Structure 1
Amino acid sequence: MEPVISPLATPYEFESFANPGDERWSSRDGKEITTVVIHHMAMTNYDGVPEVWREREASAHYGIGPKGEIRAYVGEEKKAWHARAANGYSIGIENCDITKEPDWEVSDETVDSLVKLIKDINQRYGRKMEIVGHQCAEGNSSATTQCPGPSLIPRLPEIIKRVNEE
């Protein structure tokens, strides 16, 4: 089976960052994709994301860089490890920060590409996905994570509105 990725994305270390014998992605076990979970990378080094995942049991389907470039890390047909209980039915999108803590700002170019990517996902699946920040995904809360960070959290209504515009 061919991997399912957006035509807007370029594969980058695609499904190659796990250590032999561990799984940073796995089968969805027939679960339907209904949700997009938005994350921030908590780092400004866009190229360093897969390296971080070599050390942590985590992954995501996509990453968006500070200039709006989109990378595919895990095929959509697979469950990535990004949002606890929501992993089985969601697509995870990491967004690179342009500043460090405490603000963790994300560029407008990144947000523009995020909107385009979610629109593409909706079009390819023929429905509007639910869009949530990581802390609002099933099994998460603001007590367990501050992701998608102080820059993206207040922009979620704007992102959802832009995605749903025709």
Structure 2
Amino acid sequence: MTTIISPLATPYQFEEFVNDGEERWNSRNGTEITTVVIHHMAMTNYDGVPEVWREREASAHYGIGPDGEIRAYVGEEKRAWHAGKANSYSIGIENCNTSTAPDWKVSDKTVDSLVKLIKDINKRYGRKMRIVGHQCAEGNSPSSTECPGPSLIPRLSEIIKRVNGE
């Protein structure tokens, strides 16, 4: 199977993840991708994300750093473990924070790259993806997680408008 990543992204420890096993991603079994799920990393160490996933059964397709750098962690053809029931039909994008709790701020450069990445995903798949915050992904509720955090939640409508050219 061909590995699919955005041309905007740099593979980051990609081969390690590809060879690491099924506990952090597996086959979509042909399920169509219809949704992008936005997350915040809940950390300010952009380079530390892969280490967290080595300790937990979790992963995401992409991560965006505070300077706007986009990294690919798991190919889009795989089901990453980032949003419960939505995993099979979604692409997960983690956004690095520039501050810790309680604000969990995300830089404007990160948001700009997030918009560019989702536009690229839409273009490559030939349709507008549904864009949701983690807490609104299927099987989750605002009371089950605060992700994508207090910095990104109020910006979701702005992000959607920018992606859709409104």
Name the TM tier (shorter chain): over 0.9
- Show the counterpart of 1:82: 82
CA distance in 2, matches of 1:156, 1:21: 33
- Show the counterpart of 1:138: 138
Contact 2:63 2:95 (8 Å CA) reproduced: yes
Letter in 2 for 1:108: D
CA distance in 1, matches of 2:92, 2:103: 21
Contact 2:18 2:74 (8 Å CA) reproduced: no
CA distance in 2, matches of 1:21, 1:152: 31
Letter in 1 for 2:109: E
CA distance in 1, matches of 2:99, 2:70: 19
Contact 1:84 1:140 (8 Å CA) reproduced: yes
Q: How many residues align?
A: 166
- Show the counterpart of 1:125: 125
- The 5 A counterparts of 1:65-80 are 65-80=65-80
- Show the counterpart of 1:100: 100
CA distance 1:127–1:78, shift in 2 (3 Å): same
Contact 1:19 1:54 (8 Å CA) reproduced: no
SS in 1 for 2:3: coil
- Show the counterpart of 1:48: 48
CA distance 1:14–1:21, shift in 2 (3 Å): closer
Cα deviation, 1:120-161, whole Å, max 9, x if unaligned, reads: 000000000000000000011112110000000000000000
SS in 2 for 1:155: helix
Contact 1:62 1:72 (8 Å CA) reproduced: yes
Gaps of 5+ in 2: none
CA distance in 2, matches of 1:2, 1:42: 31
Q: CA-atom RMSD, angstroms?
A: 1.4
CA distance 1:20–1:131, shift in 2 (3 Å): closer
Contact 2:17 2:74 (8 Å CA) reproduced: no
SS in 1 for 2:91: strand
Runs of 4+ in 1 over 2 A off after TM superposition: 17-23
- Show the counterpart of 2:162: 162
CA distance 1:11–1:20, shift in 2 (3 Å): closer
TM-score if structure 2 supplies the norm length? 0.96
CA distance 1:69–1:5, shift in 2 (3 Å): same
Letter in 1 for 2:116: K
- Of 9-18 and 91-100, the range deviating more from structure 2: 9-18
- Show the counterpart of 2:29: 29
Letter in 2 for 1:165: G
TM-score if structure 1 supplies the norm length? 0.96
